[in-house]
Amino acid sequence: MLAKNWDFDKERLKSSTTGALEFNLELNDLEATCLKEARVKKEKNQYLSKNDYKIIIQECIDRDNAINNEISIFQLASKFLSYKSSFVKEGTMKEYRTVFKGLEEFESKIGSKLILRELDNSFFDKFEIFLSKKPNLRDSSKKGLLNDTIHKYISTLKVFLKWCNDNDHLVHPDVFKTQKTNFKKKAYNEVVSLNENEIELFKNLDLSNNPRLEKTRDIFLLLLLTGQRYSDIIEFDKSTIKNNTWDFI
């Protein structure tokens, strides 16, 4: 491209140059894409350095090459697990590994590489549907994971994605939004209580041939009839009975 064909004020090819219309339209599209990517990233960071903008432009110009060169989700997952292992219990670590295993299976199912910054609401919807149809290893007659399990997968995955963002890896803004889902977690605020007939059945049940269960039943009834915590019951002492009243601090 010759300098004489370039309009330095408009930052476009001069209209008299052959192919200027097509070239300038392509530049317009590229400019719009770069601005959009910059706005997305700036929503999560108050300041973007010159190098940040350079990376954005490079990714927009050569997207395929940028995707191939960027660190994979599973490389980040290894770093995440290594970081968490120093202070998280094995039960939680197992949950993380299970979610990453699910991501690997999903990636294999769709036949394309998962890109960190493309994990938007559309991805979460598709991942949830995949989990809902996943073979149930505990019961082959059932298909898909339970709603509670799917909810746990998504919430655990978002912990990882937020860690990625905190460590300067570009994630999609949808990660920080409340996920609209058809696989809602069940509410665990239902109060279950025994009626008087059920309490009488407990009282009158003959457990004389099993002293351990008889003692357990009696403690349970004492908890039920006094409304006290187990920690208070095990500290019970006859000396705290005063005028037919259990008096303790």
Domain chopping of the chain, boundaries: 3-69, 73-176, 196-246
Average pLDDT over the chain reads: 83
- Region 180-194: mean pLDDT is 69
Q: In this predicted model, which residue has the larger pLDDT, 82 or 143?
A: 82
pLDDT > 80? residue 202: yes
Residue 42 is encoded by which pair of tokens?
Answer: 């700036």
Residue 85 is encoded by which pair of tokens?
Answer: 């292992």
**For the chain, how are helix, strand and coil distributed in percent, rounded to 5?**
60, 5, 35
CATH (one of 1.25.40, 1.10.357, 1.10.1740, 1.10.150) for 73-176: 1.10.150
Confidence of residue 245 (pLDDT cuts 50, 70, 90): confident
Confidence of residue 176 (pLDDT cuts 50, 70, 90): confident
Q: Which residues pair with 242 in a beta bridge?
A: 245
Distance of CA 212 to the CA centre of its chain: 44
| Residue among 109, 104, 100, 117 nearest 156 (CA) | 100
- Region 192-201: mean pLDDT is 88
pLDDT > 70? residue 25: yes
Place of tokens 């008087």: 196
Which CA distances in Å does 241 have to 215, 231, 245?
20, 17, 5
pLDDT > 60? residue 200: yes
DSSP type of residue 41? H
Helix pair angle (90-110, 121-132), 10° resolution: 100
So what's the pLDDT on residue 46?
A: 54
Count Cα neighbours of 71 within 13 Å in the Cβ-side half-sphere: 12
What does the chain come to in residues? 249
So what's the pLDDT on residue 236?
A: 82
Contact 28, 40 (CB under 8 A): no
Place of tokens 């009834």: 221
Q: Per-residue pLDDT tens for 79-133?
A: 999 999 998 889 899 999 999 999 999 999 999 888 888 888 889 999 999 998 8
Confidence of residue 21 (pLDDT cuts 50, 70, 90): confident
Q: Structure pTM? A: 0.52
pLDDT > 70? residue 34: yes
Q: Per-residue pLDDT tens for 37-53?
A: 777 767 765 556 666 67
| Range with the poorest average pLDDT among 8-22, 58-72, 103-117 | 58-72
Confidence of residue 77 (pLDDT cuts 50, 70, 90): very high
So what's the pLDDT on residue 186?
A: 61
